[in-house]
Every structure is written in structure tokens, then in C-alpha cells.
Amino acid sequence: MVKSAFGEVIASPGTTFRTVVRRESKIVWNKAAVDALYAGMTDAMDEKMGQIRDDAAAHAPRDPETARARGVPMMADTARVAVYAMGKLVSGTGERTASGNKPRGAKTPADQVVGFVMFDSPISHFAELGTIHEVARPFLIPAFNRNIGGLAGIVVPAMGKRVRAVR
Amino acid sequence: MTLLSPLGAAIAELAADTAVSAITTRIRLIEPGAADAKSAGSYVAFVVVSVLDAPWQAPTATASVTLGLRCYAPTFATAEALYLACAAVFHRKGPRIATSRLGIYNSLVTGGGTFDKDPDTSQPLVHGIVEMNVSIQAIPA
């Protein structure tokens, strides 16, 4: 027999109880803040990709005579950046080229920020990796390794700046 | 202080692998051998391994080495088989000591598997990118 604090019988021995959990709170997304986080990450990604692009372009092949003869820009002048946030191109050129705005097969998931540094030349990977008659002269991978460090030092302030603007 | 070559260690691992040697024993450093570059109809299978970057990690006395693999073969199918055999040598492999006493902490295939044709000879090839974390000095016996 169960009694209340005032002595009333509130349940007989045959009564069964069922526990009901009352949800006291629920999560409310601050969508503006979430968007600000993505925007901050995008700002940081754009800045970091720009650093890698500039470094790689400084070490990429420059052969003005060959470029002039073929009527194409020098490989070093074809470097570019594209940044995708939430699956959409948000920074970099939107111009579509023969190879598109991003490497073939590259994924740009809707919940991520993805950056690309590209050389818009059909033979840039041969310069990077080498051919039968030419040794590899890598310029993109070393530029990536030289510049990818210190990412947190760019991401955190960029996110903070965007989030503070939401308040 | 004796410094060891991660490229030499990678070449040795490839040369020692039975799956790779079943397809070719021509494992080359940096550039093809004198008799490797052939014209259409007489292509031969071979692998060229080059270092794309190898920055030292000073605090840990290690180096993060990025290797480029170029797997050439008479056909795309053979080139892919050669690439897969080479990739299996390195992919998700843990700590080991090379015959040169170079310490290899881990290795991973991080890119590649892409089909291509050499721009000069049109020979089929498959590219690969391998990351290796290695010691800078020899590991004592």
C-alpha cells in the first residue's frame, strides 16, 4: 500500500506503476550560429588554399616559349582554388573548364567544407609525378606539406569572428 | 650520423614482394631504366618510384615521405594489377625495419589508382601516392 505525504492511500498493493520520463528540455539549434561556423571554416579554408596555391604556383613549371608555341598559358599561371561549403561552390572561380570546378571523383558532402587547389592544365600531373622521359618535379604536394600546418591558427579566429557577428 | 634513404627502403620492399616480382622485376628509382622505354607493341612492365616530398619532423627525428609510384605495363589491365600489387606492399602496413635498418613506422596509400597514358610513348600506366613515416637514422640492431 502506497500513501501520499498526507496519509491518503494512492495505490493498492495490486497497482502497477509505469515510469514516464518527462522531457524537461529540448535542443534548439541556433541556425544562424551554425551557418556562422560554416562561414568561418569557409573563410579559413579559402585563406589556406590560397597560401597553398601561391606557394605551388611559385614552384610550378614556367616555360613561356612552349606556352607561346602551344597558345596556352604557362602552367604556373593556371593555379586556382575552389572551396565548397555544404555542397555548394562558395569561393573560387565558378567558371567551368574542361576538367570542371573540382577534380573528377572528388566529393563535396553537404555537411562539410572542402577546398581544392588545382592546376588547370592537362599535363600538370605529369610534371608533378614524372613521365618516361622526364623525372618528377613535384610542386603541389610539397606546397601542401609546407603550408597545411597551423590550420587551427586560422580556423579558430575565422570562426570566432563570424560567430561574434551573429550575437 | 648515418642517414638512410627511404626511397631505397621502398624499392627494396617492392623488389622483395612476390606479387610484384611475378609481374616485373624492373623496379626503378626516379627514372626508367635504359631499356624500359619502348614503343607501342613492345612495351614492358616496370615501376618507377620517386620522392615527391620528404620533410623532416624535427621534434621526433622522423620524416614524412611522400612517394610517387608509376606502374607501367603493356596493357591497362596489367598496369592495374601491377599497381595493386605495389599498393598492397605499402597500404596500412605497420612498424617494420628495412634491410638497411631504416625504421618505417607506418605506410599508407593515400592517392592514385588513376589510369593514364604516358604522354611520350602512350604506354598504359597507373599512378599511386604512398605516405611513409620513417626514421631519419638507422635503428640499432
* pLDDT tens, position by position, A18-73: 666 666 677 777 888 888 999 999 999 999 999 999 999 999 988 888 888 888 88
Determine whether the interchain pair A132/B68 forms a contact, defined as Cβ–Cβ distance below 8 Å: no
Q: What is the pLDDT at residue A94?
A: 54
**Average pLDDT of the residues in A11-24:** 66
**Average pLDDT of the residues in B105-112:** 92
Residue B59 lies in a domain: yes
Q: Give the A-side interface with B, CB within 8 Å.
A: 123, 125-126, 128-133, 135-136, 138, 141-142, 145-146
Residue B123 lies in a domain: yes
Tell me the CA end-to-end span of chain B in Å, nearest whole number: 16
Q: What is the pLDDT at residue A14?
A: 67
DSSP states along A65-115:
HHHHHHTS--GGGGEEEEEEETTEEEEE-----TT-SS-TT----TT-EEE
Strand order through the sheet with A113-119: A88-92, A79-85, A113-119
Q: What is the CATH number of the domain that holds B71?
A: 3.30.2000.10
- H or E element that contains A143: helix A140-147
Three-state secondary structure call for residue A145? helix
φ, ψ of residue B69 in degrees (nearest 5): -110, 135
Q: Looking at A84-98, A107-121, A122-136, which range is the least confident one?
A: A84-98
Q: What is the pLDDT at residue B117?
A: 93
Nearest to B119 among A131, A136, A145 (CB): A131
Q: Which domain holds residue B128?
A: 6-32+43-138
Q: What is the pLDDT at residue B76?
A: 95
pLDDT tens, position by position, B26-57:
999 999 998 888 888 899 999 999 999 999 88
Q: Give the B-side interface with A, CB within 8 Å.
A: 30-32, 36-37, 48, 50, 52-53, 55, 64, 66, 68, 70, 72, 116, 118-121, 123, 127, 129
Q: What is the pLDDT at residue A130?
A: 92
Three-state secondary structure call for residue B96? strand
The whole-angstrom separation of Cα A97 and Cα A95 is: 6
Q: What is the pLDDT at residue B69?
A: 95
Determine whether the interchain pair A145/B30 forms a contact, defined as Cβ–Cβ distance below 8 Å: no
Q: Average pLDDT, whole number, for chain B? A: 92
Higher-pLDDT residue of B12 and B2 is: B12
Kindly list the residues from chain A whose CB atom is less than 8 angstroms away from the CB atom of residue B66. Answer: 141, 145
Q: Which of B30, B31, B47, B133 should we substitute to test contact with A (largest number of A Cβ atoms within 10 Å)? A: B31
A80 has a pLDDT exceeding 60 = yes
Q: How many CB atoms within 10 Å of residue A103?
A: 11
Question: What is the number of CB-based contacts under 8 A between chain A and chain B?
Answer: 52
Q: What is the pLDDT at residue A11?
A: 65
Residue B103 lies in a domain: yes
Confidence at A92, pLDDT banded by 50, 70, 90: confident
Residue B86 lies in a domain: yes
Q: What is the pLDDT at residue A3?
A: 66
- Note whether B46 and B33 are within 8 A (CB): yes
Residue B1 lies in a domain: no
Q: What is the pLDDT at residue A93?
A: 64
Q: Average pLDDT, whole number, for chain A? A: 83
Higher-pLDDT residue of B80 and B58 is: B80
**Average pLDDT of the residues in B89-108:** 93
The whole-angstrom separation of Cα B83 and Cα B72 is: 9
Determine whether the interchain pair B48/A142 forms a contact, defined as Cβ–Cβ distance below 8 Å: no
Q: What is the pLDDT at residue B15?
A: 94
Residue B75 lies in a domain: yes
* B67, closest residue in chain A (CA to CA): A129
The answer to ipTM > 0.85 is: yes
Higher-pLDDT residue of B7 and A21 is: B7
Q: What is the pLDDT at residue A20?
A: 67
Q: What is the pLDDT at residue A91?
A: 79
- Note whether B23 and B7 are within 8 A (CB): no
C-alpha cell at A147: 603550408
Q: What is the pLDDT at residue B17?
A: 94
Residue B37 lies in a domain: no
The angle subtended at Cα B62 by Cα B58 and Cα B68, nearest 5°, is 120
CA distance A146 to chain B (A): 8
Higher-pLDDT residue of A101 and B128 is: B128
Q: Total domain count for chain B? A: 1
Q: What percent of chain B has pLDDT over 90?
A: 73
